[in-house]
Amino acid sequence: MPVGTIARQRGASFRHSRQLRTPQSAGAMQAPGWLPAALGTAAIMAGLGMRRKGTVALALTAFASVAAIGALRGVTPDQERADGGGASAASEPEVERSITIGKTADELRQRWLDPGTLPQIMAAFATVQAIGDGRTHWTLPGPLGRRYEWEAETIDDRAGDRVGWCSLPHAIIPNEGWIRFRPAPADRGTVMSLRLNFDPPGGAVGDAAVALFGTTPIGLAADWALRRFKSLVETGEIPTTERQPAARADTR
């Protein structure tokens, strides 16, 4: 996809975007283990989808997997009716989160596009591989030994000062997003914003997942990715408690 096409091709969905309802309270954020729960949800949704549609390729970025339930929960039937019942616009939640990083926009863009970066940021829950042509291949381990795989496409939109991505066609949960850079005041570096945008499936699949897991904060997923990226670019590493001593099986 040529540079600069993201806004045109996906313009319709951006145009319909509304202020995201973020019903998630601080209480939801305090629940430890929200990420695994969200991933489990994504895996189950994927499993349901696969049973229904056979071996349809699951196009789902890690962001989407975390955020999908928040997305589903962000839309009430009333709101869908008010929006004319058009599933695409009504069920399209977005979230935007920002972080300030002590580096220039060029440094951040370069690091984000580095094939080694996404695998490090996502290492805790997905395996990401750069497969050329600006595409990434994602593998998410699911329940009962299942593996879910998909591909996403990166779009470096230099004119719009953004780096975007979108799921490839036939995605069960079409999704897209971008990061954007703006200068921070004085010596504070660069404000990097991350926007996530979803087209959740709704219907039986979504309802089942919601019934199983409830609300998961989409904004937290964005915060989490941004913080890991900031640490990586500012210090060269991501803080971790992996492989540390503790008197239990999972020592993290």
Partner 1 sequence: MRALYWNGVNDLRVGTVKDPEIVNPHDAILRVSLSTTCGSDLHFIDGYIPTMKPGDVIGHEFMGVIEEVGPEVKTVKRGDRVVVPSFIVCGQCWYCQQHLYSLCDNTHPKPELQAPLFGGHATAGIYGYTHAFGGYAGAHAQYVRIPFADNDCFKVPDGVTDETALFLSDAAPTGYMGADFCDIKPGDTVAVWGCGGVGLMAQQSARLMGAERVIAIDRFPERLRMAREHAGSETIDYTQVHSVLEALKEMTGGRGPDSCIDAVGMEAHGTGAQYAYDRVKQALHLETDRGQALREAVMACRKGGTLSVLGVYGLIDKFPMGAIMNKGMTVRSAQQHGQAYMDRLLTHAQKGELNPAYLATHRFSLEDAPRGYDMFKHKTDGCVRAVFAP
Exposure of 5 in the CB half-sphere (CA atoms within 13 A): 8
Burial, 109: exposed, middle or buried (Cβ in 10 Å; 0-12, 13-18, 19+)? buried
180: contact with partner 1 by CB under 8 A? no
Residue nearer to partner 1 on the CB measure, 34 or 178: 34
Q: Choose which of 102, 141, 183, 214 interacts with partner 1 (CB under 8 A).
A: 102
Which ranges constitute the DSSP H helices of the chain? 6-9, 11-15, 26-30, 34-53, 62-73, 77-82, 87-90, 105-113, 117-121, 203-213, 218-235
Q: How far is the CB of 119 from partner 1 (least distance, A)?
A: 16
Q: Choose which of 17, 98, 100, 154 interacts with partner 1 (CB under 8 A).
A: 100
Q: Which residue has the tokens 């997305």?
A: 71
Q: How far is the CB of 98 from partner 1 (least distance, A)?
A: 12
39 close to 122: Cβ distance less than 8 angstroms: no
Query: Total binding residues for partner 1 by CB under 8 A?
Result: 34
227: contact with partner 1 by CB under 8 A? yes
Residue nearer to partner 1 on the CB measure, 54 or 236: 236
Burial, 95: exposed, middle or buried (Cβ in 10 Å; 0-12, 13-18, 19+)? buried
Q: Which of 5, 28, 25, 44 is nearest to 205 (CA)?
A: 44
- Among the listed ranges 146-154, 158-166, 195-203, 217-225, the one in contact with partner 1 (CB under 8 A) is 217-225
240: contact with partner 1 by CB under 8 A? yes
252: contact with partner 1 by CB under 8 A? yes
Burial, 4: exposed, middle or buried (Cβ in 10 Å; 0-12, 13-18, 19+)? middle
Residue nearer to partner 1 on the CB measure, 193 or 231: 231
Q: How far is the CB of 247 from partner 1 (least distance, A)?
A: 4
Q: Choose which of 189, 200, 201, 206 interacts with partner 1 (CB under 8 A).
A: 189
69 close to 213: Cβ distance less than 8 angstroms: yes
Q: How far is the CB of 221 from partner 1 (least distance, A)?
A: 10
Interacting residues with partner 1 (CB under 8 A): 26-27, 29-30, 32, 34-35, 100, 102, 188-189, 220, 223-224, 227, 230-231, 234-248, 251-252
